[in-house]
Chains A and B, each alone.
Chain A
């Protein structure tokens, strides 16, 4: 059976994951991921039609607490690893291609 993870799909997945990868990486990952996915196929041996999914082992996933105002990170602390900033703001490029935004 052909793997659903061919190079076209891997390129699409990399785009969805916002990962820029080179052509060399692409062909390497496509081969490796196809092999991993082939191993996953064994799950299809199991009939799970009457089994409920388990997404979390937590004993109490609905822990509630009082909504109280407590100190949190200061602005300076929150910004101290910023790659670029302007005053008290994180600075990054706009959504449109900068070269198309000529006045």
Chain B
């Protein structure tokens, strides 16, 4: 009998005793070994522990115990999310060999639900990047074309899911780091509302923007994973004190009557290649055909979003990364002269180029004489961007658009000029600046056969609405069922 492929099917069949957690986890580990030398999606494999936990689940089920809604589901976790097993390196030499003393809240929740973590995935160093080329262990390659980037910063998680090594993974999204790699790899990625998911145990990059979310092959699985990881956690003071909805139960809501906003243009956000624009337009047309109403909206401050974001994110990063000083944990330089020398050389050696650039940019915009012109200004522009979206969401239920201006670019294409990389985040960062929820759904391919993502954005705590609309779209399309050749021979059960 063929083993199930999706999170929903694996959990159902393991719970029913139709297949064992051990078989499913073993298959995942086999695929990891077979594929990862090409992809570079994983920084650590936690296979022994995963198999042992799978056997525990199988035993518990055999004696009739409750095994959880994700029983036996193999998952991968981005390596900036703390696990007290395996690595938590953040893709940085600074944390090479670091062993977290505790599990992140999301890891606790996944494991309590019966999920089995098979490995930690590659990322841009400290999640700073849009290509997963900035990690200390090298780039992750796109399963659809090994000469292209996987996107970033959660590129390892997205590539692992696209290659069907795991049916789902966690990423983190500070400016698009879940949605953009999901779009580039042809999978589903959701950035929840700020506060929906606990950040306890997520290594902080920009604390007012960071959020953890699921990456899966289909929307139903994303709804299932979000339901498990969402909810209040007293260890994260920004986590919202309200119950998460049953996102799976809400997926049947029809598209009929849903008001979908589409950017009217003239706001400098129509920036997208012809191929991306065509795929997105066709997706919107598909939803209109199913009864949705398409309404033009204006987002007049969008041309300022990238500048606003890189000031704020870098400022917060420079502060958050001050903790890496070579004293308590992390890389320490040899033979320091004194403690100032210890700090400067440990940090100079431990951080890669992109992290250093952001730390310096952040230090600069917060420094005396420049604070008002850059940081304080950006905070005010953040208000204007948030207002644009609030105004739009008073007229529409969701906003549809591209995730990224193009499909995945070539490895090395944008690493030399940081600004070229930064502007690719133009469509995704507003959701982080405003704290809204947004997701990426596969909606077609460009002429090179690379996947294109549709972004659906919603107001705070409208994840249920987003997921339902995306699910209804997937009931009408097959893009999410397409798999790269690298995942060949693994047809969906």
Q: Is the CB of A36 within 8 A of B340?
A: no
CB–CB A46/B332 < 8 A: no
Interface residues of B, dominant DSSP: helix
Interface: A69 (CB within 8 A): no
The answer to whether B383 and A54 touch across the interface, beta carbons within 8 angstroms, is yes
If A93-B337, A98-B337 touch, whether A40 touches B380 (CB-CB below 8 Å) is no
Complex CA–CA separation, A93 to B439 (angstroms): 48
B238 to chain A minimum Cβ distance, whole angstroms, is 4
Say yes or no: A43-B307 contact (C-beta < 8 A), given A19-B351, A20-B344, A77-B101: yes
Measured between beta carbons, the chain B residues less than 8 angstroms from A95 are 338-340
Give the nearest-CB partner of B240 in chain A.
A59
Asked whether B361 is an interface residue with its Cβ less than 8 Å from the other chain, the reply is: yes
**A13-45 at interface with B (beta carbon < 8 Å):** 13-21, 25, 29, 32-33, 35-37, 39-40, 42-45
Question: Are B386 and A54 closer than 8 Å at their CB atoms?
Answer: yes
Q: Are B380 and A48 in contact (CB under 8 A)?
A: yes
Contact B304 A43 (CB under 8 A): yes
Say whether A81 contacts B98, CB under 8 Å: yes
Tell me how many residues of A have a C-beta within 8 Å of chain B. Answer: 58
- Interface contact A43-B337, CB-CB below 8 Å: no
Q: For A96, list chain B residues within 8 Å (CB).
A: 338
* B460 CB-CB contact with A under 8 Å: yes
Task: Evaluate contact between A18 and B340: CB separation under 8 angstroms.
Answer: yes
The distance in angstroms between the C-alpha atoms of A25 and B348, with both chains bound, is 10
Query: What is the number of residues of chain B that contact chain A, defined by CB distance less than 8 Å?
Result: 74
Closest to B434 in A: A57
When the two chains form the complex, which single residue of A20, A55, A65, A90 contacts B208, counting CB atoms closer than 8 Å?
A: A55
Q: Which residues of B contact A48 (CB under 8 A)?
A: 377, 380-381, 384
* Listed residue (A42, A90, A99) with the most chain B CB atoms within 10 angstroms of its CB: A42
Nearest B residue to A63, CB-CB: B237
Contact of A1 with B by CB under 8 A: no
Known: A56-B238, A65-B234. 19 other contacts (CB 8 A): A15-B344, A19-B347, A20-B347, A29-B357, A33-B364, A42-B303, A51-B383, A53-B383, A54-B382, A55-B379, A82-B328, A83-B327, A83-B329, A83-B330, A90-B327, A92-B342, A93-B339, A93-B341, A98-B337
Q: Nearest 5 pairs between A and B by C-beta?
A: A57-B435, A20-B348, A53-B379, A81-B329, A83-B332
